[in-house]
A and B are shown apart, each in its own frame.
Chain A
Amino acid sequence: MATPDRVSYWNKTKSLMFVMLGLWVFFGYVIHMFVEQLNSIVIFGFPLGFYMAAQGSLIAFVVMLFWFARRQNAIDEEHGVHED
């Protein structure tokens, strides 16, 4: 069960999870705490702080998930625990 390879697999999976969690905290919360400051930057009529909550963070979430699916799959294959 807990073979060395399994341990290393789980460590990599955990690291990936924490990276994703960190990005999630950043795009979900941290960036929006600076909304007032970001709003002073206006692009195409969009105050940047408003833009991040309306579109920017959402785009980040979508991209993150596709990247995660690929990355986790690569980890699976590297450790030979992918499905046949």
Chain B
Amino acid sequence: MANTTSTTAGGGDFTSNLGRIYGIYTGGFIAFIILMAILSAMGVENVVIGYLFMGFTIVIYAVIGVLSRTMHVGEYYVAGRRVPALYNGMATGADWMSAASFIGMAGSLYLLGYDGLGFVLGWTGGYVLVAILVAPYLRKFGAYTVPDFLSARYGGNLARFIGVIVLFSCSFTYVVAQIFGTGLISARFLGIDFNVAVYVGLAGILVCSMLGGMRAVTWTQVAQYIVLIIAYLIPVIWMSTVKTGVPIPQLMQGQALANITALETAQGITVHHITPFVHGGYDAKNYFLLILCLMVGTASLPHVLMRYFTTPSVREARVSVAWSLLFIFILYFTAPAYAAFAKWTMLDLVASGLTPENIAEKAGWMMRWAAADNTLVQICGKAATDSAAIVAACAEKGVTALSFADINLNADMIVLATPEMAGMPYVISGLVAAGGLAAALSTADGLLLAIANALSHDIYYKMIDQNAPTSRRLIVSRILLVMVAVLAAYVASTKPSDILSMVSWAFSLAAGGLFPALVLGVWWKRANSAGAVAGMIAGFGITIFYLVMTQYGADFDKATPNMELWWGVKNISSATFGLPVGFAVMIIVSLLTRAPAREMQDFIEEIRVPRGKQMMEEKTA
């Protein structure tokens, strides 16, 4: 790699000192939190603390992004394939845990109780499929992008092109949700208008990924993982210590659950937090189908699979999947505890005798959130923007003492509002905002890169101009990155849906469109080009048809009724239909058409063993 040292900012030194560098970084971040706490105690205003937290972390990411700038194709697309398993695991953790995991999930668990655990299971178990079915084999193949593999395995640009369409659809839906999340955080903590805030979030995303591609994204994602996991754990450890005296929330969650049940019973709530299959329309069927779609989607999402292209070997890729899940697990097994402690706190608040008159004094945070966006907090069915509005709304409904059911909190605000809810100092709110931002930015970076890489590498380089010089390919990729990002920010500013739904749609689109072609491509030699193309079109087509028709209807008019659900399956599990159809069509069409050629069968044999050169060597100069 001697010829690249000038452009890689001392790559070798850097990778051998990773432990020390990130150790110092973590210490520095903790020192920064303490400094903020001191400033806050000295009377610095809350909004200033908010700005400092978000500004400081974004500057750090930007510095890493700029230091990792590169004009080397291998570095830009796959970080030079030198990322050790553990760090790739951490980067995948940040890549994976988006605004939906950080902001949305515990909120949904708070609202849905047991039934929300479908998200926790679905977003972890999928890594088993990644490890055993897909990732090591794609690493052996040595692709730059997922469509690269489809093209090589299914001979030609048609499979590649359809792969790019599916990739674009799922990653774009996903990235819109992330920008929506950054907008939500910026609007509340920086006090700027939501429509402006989404573009501010966008700027944060672009500085990380634009100059250094995968290489910059990898090292910022590791940094972002550290911020987001600290920010997630501190409030819940705090609540656990205050409520139970033991700082291990995952363990003390049992006590929280027992208290929730007792308080619910005392307040006459019959649908308990721990009761399965009763919340929000998640009957057993929808619960298990959601788990299936999320798990299979995990093993099909290009921005996740692409992370395993960066490890030095097939063996490291496998270990890296395990590390990824371990780092993800740390947040995911905390989320149910987060939700339980937040719910316990709220139930206690209500039990303390909450009335429309004293709510401003007892829970002023609700009004601040309602002021940021009037859909976030509703009391007695109206936006709780100020004390007068609450009194008026409740008087209209004849409510004198508020019950738990009268207060309607939006799932997306619960995690961000919990520090205020539990009476923690504002510095913790600032920290949580920084964590949420890290989660949204890191995922958005990975997604935008997946989209831009597919457009520049698969469409521009492979399909339009095979002779394009390296420098032009990288410039095209950067321009596309910015264009896609701006388009996504525009869509996010129209607030299409809540974060968790948008993200779940992305999983279904990926599962329906890509999973059969990827898995059968490795595991079934008889799968051929015609089968894969037909399977992808059918699987993706059914999934997106069901999604659009049930969400928007054929006329895209919100006023008219949309298509009825098929057998009552929620559209966040659209792949329920796409997945079996995709598999069936792919298998039937493959069997009806000619078997792949001898060379293709040998190619598959080679993918299946780790030894030997990687299959695809790129011109990288």
Contact = CB atoms under 8 A, between A and B. Distances in A.
Interface string A58-84: 110110111011001100100011111
Contacts of A43: 254
B347 interface: no
B99 to A, nearest CB: 21
Interface string B318-330: 1101100110010
B190 interface: no
Interface in B84-120: 114, 117, 120
Contact of A69 (B114, B120, B254, B318): B318
Given A20-B132, A49-B276, A73-B318, A54 B336 contact: yes
B253 interface: yes
Contacts of A29: 288, 291-292
Given A39-B274, A66-B322, A82-B315, A54 B333 contact: yes
B257 A45 contact: yes
Nearest to B130: A65
Nearest to A29: B288
Contacts of B292: 29
B125 interface: yes
A58 B120 contact: yes
B38 to A, nearest CB: 36
Interface stretch (B179-187, B582-590, B603-611): B603-611
A32 B610 contact: no
Per DSSP, chain B at the interface is helix
Interface string A6-33: 1001100100110011011001110011
B251 A44 contact: yes
Given A29-B291, A58-B329, A46 B257 contact: yes
A6 B333 contact: no
B257 A47 contact: yes
A45 B344 CA distance: 14
A61 B120 contact: no
A62 B121 contact: no
Nearest to A79: B609
Contact of B274 (A47, A65, A72): A47
B617 interface: no
Nearest to B603: A1
B315 A44 contact: no
B125 A76 contact: no
A51 B605 CA distance: 42
B410 interface: no
Interface string B271-313: 0001010000000100110011001000000000000000001
B132 A55 contact: no
B319 A58 contact: no
Contact of B315 (A10, A17, A46, A73): A73
A54 B253 contact: yes
A32 B609 CA distance: 36
A66 B89 CA distance: 12
A69 to B, nearest CB: 4
B313 to A, nearest CB: 5
B554 to A, nearest CB: 34
Contacts of B326: 62, 66
Contacts of B120: 53-54, 58
B602 interface: yes
B114 A57 contact: no
Contact of A46 (B132, B254, B609, B610): B254
A68 B132 contact: yes
Contact of B336 (A33, A45, A55): A55
A19 B188 CA distance: 48
Interface of B: 114, 117, 120-121, 124-125, 127-129, 131-133, 136, 250-251, 253-258, 274, 276, 284, 287-288, 291-292, 295, 313-315, 318-319, 321-322, 325-326, 329, 332-333, 336-337, 602, 605, 608-611
